[in-house]
Amino acid sequence: MILGSSCNTVSDTTTLKHDIELPSKIPELLLEKHVKYLISYETDKDEYTYCMTEHMRMSGMYWGLTALDLMGKLEQADKQRVLEFIGQCQSDCGGISASIEHDPHLLYTLSAIQILCIYDALDVINVEKVVKYVKERQQPDGSFTGDCWGEVDVRFSFCAVATLSLVNRLDAINIEKAVEFIIKCMNFDGAFGSKPGSESHAGLIYCCVGLLSITGHLHLIDADRLGWWLCERQLPSGGLNGRPEKLPDVCYSWWVLSALTILGRLHWIDKKRLVNYILICQDTESGGFSDRPGDVADPFHTLFGLTALSLLDRDYSLKPINPTYCMPETIVKHPLNPTCRALFPVEQKSTLNSSEDPPLTLQSWLGISKVNEHAKNELYDMKLINNSLDIPNQTKRDTFEPEVYNFSRGYGAPVGAPRVQR
């Protein structure tokens, strides 16, 4: 579960505050403390918070393990124990639950698949049964229910599509209907809510933009209008909120930034001020990040603090994060993964530009010998949004052959994406 419990709901009833004041001293990024915090969170099973989070343990594992991987410390986690746990959480219907003997749900199914992709260990579960479970969640209007009880939300649509694409089985569902439902959730402001007619919300925008990017439908978004709504989430403190009139919160740094990155508009926010806000939310004694300065740290905000920093500043010792899947790029762009992500993130044109470099072909950048249809669609959409390839304007989608074009560095080439895969 990339999306967690609802954040940003706290407000002071006596004096309504919509922002915080940052102290003058901003701490460094305390990576060693964050590693220690995450490892002890996972191993100290007597902790009150550990016991109280059983109902979302699978996602907790995903948050912690992804954060460790971003910091290059995944080997410190107990891989064998994690894999055994995931194997025990798959139920007969194919779905995966948060904990052993809990009910399966799409949120935890995606978390489990993400962890198994990180460990390259999909064989510990029955993937075909997962595909069947996800397929059964799709409703006639294209939406998805999270489990067998029927709640519908765009979060579940994203979980379904992300899960299937990670196991290369997007063919199992009706993509056009899934996209149709997402577009019905688009509001007048260009942003998205949880259902048709629901209020726009940054976390749900991430889900909708992510789904449209995976399925090759980014051209259906009004990227300028949505990008503007997203940048308006930045407050004077530098932090981002999830909706107008709400307090800043570290986790929205991720949802807003990931969507802006996919849309090629990450440079529309004030990066330095946001970095300062995120750094001030670290627990400088025990490690971890909280939603706001002074609050208790947790693995959820720790992951999203780190992923946001990975998008914002490549000088930190963090692996590049994939803005769509919230997994390290090295995993998502694995050359053997046929759903290989083609194009994200694209940033300002100036950052990578070097006219002396030789032309870069799509295949050489991806490290693959063949570009599949899915990657072609993505590439075409990004071309429309970012002019990232030097392709004649009259080229239609169905005649588009990316193999014959060269990337111009600094246009289509993704920022910080590794050429050499793991």
Q: Residue 43: how many CB atoms within 10 A of its CB?
A: 12
Site string for Zn ion, 286-305 (x = CB under 5 A): -----x--------------
* CA 262 to each of CA 47, 70, 191, 219: distance values in angstroms, whole numbers, following the listed order: 38, 19, 14, 12
Closest approach, Cβ 254 to Zn ion, in A, equals 9
Q: Which of residues 137-156 bind Zn ion (CB under 5 A)?
A: none
Q: Residue 359: how many CB atoms within 10 A of its CB?
A: 10
Q: State whether the Cα torsion 233-235-241-244 is positive or negative.
A: negative
Closest approach, Cβ 291 to Zn ion, in A, equals 4
- Complex with Zn ion: residue 7 or 110, whichever CB lies closer: 7
Cis peptide before 345, with omega less than 30 degrees from 0? yes
Answer for the pair 415, 345: CB distance below 8 angstroms, yes or no: yes
How far apart CA 388 and CA 135 sit, in angstroms, is 34
Residue 7 touches Zn ion, criterion: CB under 5 A: yes
Site string for Zn ion, 321-350 (x = CB under 5 A): ------------------------------
3-class DSSP state of 302: helix
Closest approach, Cβ 250 to Zn ion, in A, equals 6
Q: Which of residues 100-129 bind Zn ion (CB under 5 A)?
A: none
Q: What tokens appear for 91 in the block?
A: 């139920």
225 backbone φψ class: left, alpha, beta (φ>0; ψ -120 to 50)? alpha
- Complex with Zn ion: residue 11 or 372, whichever CB lies closer: 11
Answer for the pair 186, 180: CB distance below 8 angstroms, yes or no: no
Closest approach, Cβ 233 to Zn ion, in A, equals 13
When CB distances to Zn ion are compared, the closest residue is 7
Closest approach, Cβ 19 to Zn ion, in A, equals 15
- Complex with Zn ion: residue 7 or 77, whichever CB lies closer: 7
Answer for the pair 173, 226: CB distance below 8 angstroms, yes or no: no
Q: Which residue has the tokens 């410390």?
A: 73
Closest approach, Cβ 31 to Zn ion, in A, equals 21
What is the H or E stretch that residue 257 is in? helix 250-262
Answer for the pair 33, 88: CB distance below 8 angstroms, yes or no: no
Q: Which of residues 209-268 bind Zn ion (CB under 5 A)?
A: 249, 251
- Complex with Zn ion: residue 255 or 325, whichever CB lies closer: 255
Answer for the pair 291, 301: CB distance below 8 angstroms, yes or no: yes
How far apart CA 274 and CA 147 sit, in angstroms, is 36
Closest approach, Cβ 297 to Zn ion, in A, equals 12
- Complex with Zn ion: residue 69 or 249, whichever CB lies closer: 249
Closest approach, Cβ 102 to Zn ion, in A, equals 23
- Helix runs in 74-187, H state only: 79-89, 106-118, 127-137, 154-166, 175-184
- Complex with Zn ion: residue 70 or 247, whichever CB lies closer: 247
Q: Residue 170: how many CB atoms within 10 A of its CB?
A: 21
Q: How many chain residues are in contact with Zn ion, going by CB under 5 A?
A: 4
- Complex with Zn ion: residue 7 or 125, whichever CB lies closer: 7
- Complex with Zn ion: residue 69 or 291, whichever CB lies closer: 291
- Complex with Zn ion: residue 111 or 290, whichever CB lies closer: 290
Closest approach, Cβ 226 to Zn ion, in A, equals 21
Binding site for Zn ion (CB under 5 A): 7, 249, 251, 291
